[in-house]
Amino acid sequence: MEQGGQMRELGKPQGTRVGIVMDNLRERIASRSLMPGARVPSIRVMTEALGVSKSTVVEAYDRLVAEGAIVARRGSGFFVSGHAPPLALADLGPRLDREVDPLWLTRQSLQPGSKVLKPGCGWMPASWLPERGVRRALRAIARDPQSPLADYANPYGLPALRQQLAWRVAQHGVEAPPEQIVLTDGGTHALDLVCRFLLEPGDTVLIDDPCYFNFQALLRAHRARIVGVPYTPSGPDLAAFERALVEHRPRLYVTNSAIHNPTGATLAPAVAHRLLKLAGEHALIVVEDDIFADFEDEAAPRLAAFDGLTRVVSIGSFSKTLSAAARCGYIAARAEWIEPLIDLKLATSFGNGQLTASVVHRLLVDGTYRRHLESMRAKLADAMGETMRRLNYAGLDVWTQPRAGMFVWARLPDSLDAADIARHALGADVVFAPGNVFSVSQSATGYLRFNVSQCNRPKVYEALQRAMESAAASGERKRA
């Protein structure tokens, strides 16, 4: 259920006083409480702090220099050796087989190649997005003498778009005036900025188990400790949530509540209320990724709406519903957090791209987006019904009937392992999304996430069927 924060196993204290001093420093270096390059406490300080003689500390430091753990610099004391190696996300956290590694699925999904089918992909095919609308918006922007084509964006982001967003989030009950909305380059950038603002390395973050797989990679990039809470069809398991609050004292909880990824579940109002009460009691901040807001026919409960942006930060984007080529997202947060968020945004990206923000703005105000959403929802509802019917026919169990959206979370029959299915299907150029990609506890072995907009080709089900047969056969071989 938990990862990160492992302490390297160290040798037993040598029993001697010199050994105690050495072990004290070795442990602080291994746990990174003393970072590479950091100054080691002076001999005087160590002597006082550890209550040992100066000669003991001197001998311990000499030995640590000899073994290369620390270095002496004339006149300025002792320092931890070397530099930390570059940050390789693939090396942080537990080593996973690539079939269930979130970064690997991201790469697979992003690889172009038109003959590959991607029922495990997290977005809709380009043909389901309003490409003609985007073309029309580009022509309009090219024509308009007022278009922002050269300059950097206003630090907050395009004012007209923030105005639109204030109105849109109000439709979901979230009251955020334009001054409390910050534009970003997409939803991931929004979450990244919020994590930069709120997290220190080593902070604990709660996520749903299962949850959107990139949350894990992003949080690892922030050196967060990740703790998963089981997700139920009406929201997180509140008993487990409370235990995690008590035991791990997390700083943040990151979730999508309206339509949950990957399960398609919707938060129940009672769960939302209880969750916010617990958050208040435990000084927890909640980041609600509302990226699937516009897939809903009727607005499900929003934590940000119940809470009034006190301890909930709401983020969103148009990458799933409009275009992922024109990166544009936003953060809605409490008023006094806006200025420091803007400072961080300027320092780390010098503001978001206003060309793409104006593409999105045009499509929101000219009616394209509204019309697109209507037809998209109808298409998705049809595809959802058809996909569930076919999955049932193939012998899979749907975990919960989604109210809307594009994801179906389904369990394989006969204890089949979804990673085996994904491996077999990849050979036939079909990318499935095995459950453990989404599960920090690796407890979703028997599940697959299906994107109904990418499941309308018979080849998907043929590949699924064949992969299930192969996996069953190799399972029997293993047992035999």
- Taking CB under 8 A as the criterion, the residue among 163, 214, 234, 441 binding a second copy is 214
Write the secondary structure of 369-435 as one string of H (helix), E (strand) and C (coil): HHHHHHHHHHHHHHHHHHHHHHHHHCCCEECCCCCCCCEEEEECCCCCCHHHHHHHHHHCCECCEEH
Beta bridge pairs of residue 204: 225
- In sequence order, which residues have a C-beta less than 8 Å from that of residue 188 and are 6 or more positions away? 214, 218, 329
Which residue number, 196 or 466, has a Cβ lying nearer to a second copy? 196
**Least separation, in Å, of the C-beta of 70 and a second copy?**
12
Q: Of the listed pieces 217-225, 231-239, 299-307, 395-403, which binds a second copy according to CB under 8 A?
A: 217-225
The residue written with tokens 């978001």 in the block is: 352
Q: Does 50 bind a second copy (CB under 8 A)?
A: yes
Q: Does 257 bind a second copy (CB under 8 A)?
A: no
- Taking CB under 8 A as the criterion, the residue among 117, 165, 192, 412 binding a second copy is 192
Q: Does 254 bind a second copy (CB under 8 A)?
A: no
- In sequence order, which residues have a C-beta less than 8 Å from that of residue 376 and are 6 or more positions away? 124, 128, 295, 321
457-462-467 Cα angle (round to 5): 130
The distance from CA 81 to its chain's CA centroid, rounded to whole angstroms, is 33
Residues 342-371 that bind a second copy (CB under 8 A): 343-344, 346-356, 359
- Taking CB under 8 A as the criterion, the residue among 10, 16, 49, 173 binding a second copy is 49
**Least separation, in Å, of the C-beta of 396 and a second copy?**
28
The residue written with tokens 């129940």 in the block is: 268
Provide the H-helix boundaries in 267-367.
Answer: 269-281, 303-307, 335-349, 354-365
Q: Is 316 helix (H, G, I), strand (E, B) or coil?
A: strand
Which residue number, 70 or 412, has a Cβ lying nearer to a second copy? 70
Q: Does 26 bind a second copy (CB under 8 A)?
A: no
Q: Does 114 bind a second copy (CB under 8 A)?
A: no
**Least separation, in Å, of the C-beta of 188 and a second copy?**
4
Residues 280-299 that bind a second copy (CB under 8 A): 283
| Number of other residues whose CB lies within 10 A of the CB of residue 163 | 15
- Taking CB under 8 A as the criterion, the residue among 231, 330, 337, 438 binding a second copy is 337
User: Cα–Cα distance between 94 and 328 in angstroms, integer?
Assistant: 32
User: Cα–Cα distance between 36 and 27 in angstroms, integer?
Assistant: 13
**Least separation, in Å, of the C-beta of 307 and a second copy?**
17
**Least separation, in Å, of the C-beta of 94 and a second copy?**
16
Residues 303-332 that bind a second copy (CB under 8 A): 319, 323-327
Residues 134-163 that bind a second copy (CB under 8 A): 134-136, 138-139, 141-143, 147-155
Tokens of 92: 């942080």
Tokens of 51: 């209550």
DSSP state, residue 99: G
Residues 264-283 that bind a second copy (CB under 8 A): 283
Residues 396-455 that bind a second copy (CB under 8 A): none
Q: Of the listed pieces 110-118, 175-183, 397-405, 446-454, which binds a second copy according to CB under 8 A?
A: 110-118
- In sequence order, which residues have a C-beta less than 8 Å from that of residue 83 and are 6 or more positions away? 36, 37
Which residue number, 218 or 412, has a Cβ lying nearer to a second copy? 218
**Least separation, in Å, of the C-beta of 11 and a second copy?**
14
**Least separation, in Å, of the C-beta of 8 and a second copy?**
15
**Least separation, in Å, of the C-beta of 405 and a second copy?**
18
**Least separation, in Å, of the C-beta of 254 and a second copy?**
13
- Label the pairing between strands 225-232 and 2-3: antiparallel
- Taking CB under 8 A as the criterion, the residue among 1, 30, 38, 398 binding a second copy is 38
Q: What is the dihedral sign for C-alpha 195, 201, 206, 207?
A: positive
Which residue number, 352 or 439, has a Cβ lying nearer to a second copy? 352
Tokens of 367: 């009616």
Q: Does 198 bind a second copy (CB under 8 A)?
A: yes
User: Cα–Cα distance between 1 and 269 in angstroms, integer?
Assistant: 26
Q: Is 227 helix (H, G, I), strand (E, B) or coil?
A: strand
- Taking CB under 8 A as the criterion, the residue among 217, 381, 394, 472 binding a second copy is 217
User: Cα–Cα distance between 41 and 70 in angstroms, integer?
Assistant: 11
Residues 221-240 that bind a second copy (CB under 8 A): 221
Residues 161-190 that bind a second copy (CB under 8 A): 185-189
User: Cα–Cα distance between 94 and 441 in angstroms, integer?
Assistant: 10
Which residue number, 202 or 230, has a Cβ lying nearer to a second copy? 202
Binding mask 68-107 for a second copy (x = CB under 8 A): -----x--x--x--xxx-xxxxx------------x--xx
**Least separation, in Å, of the C-beta of 472 and a second copy?**
34
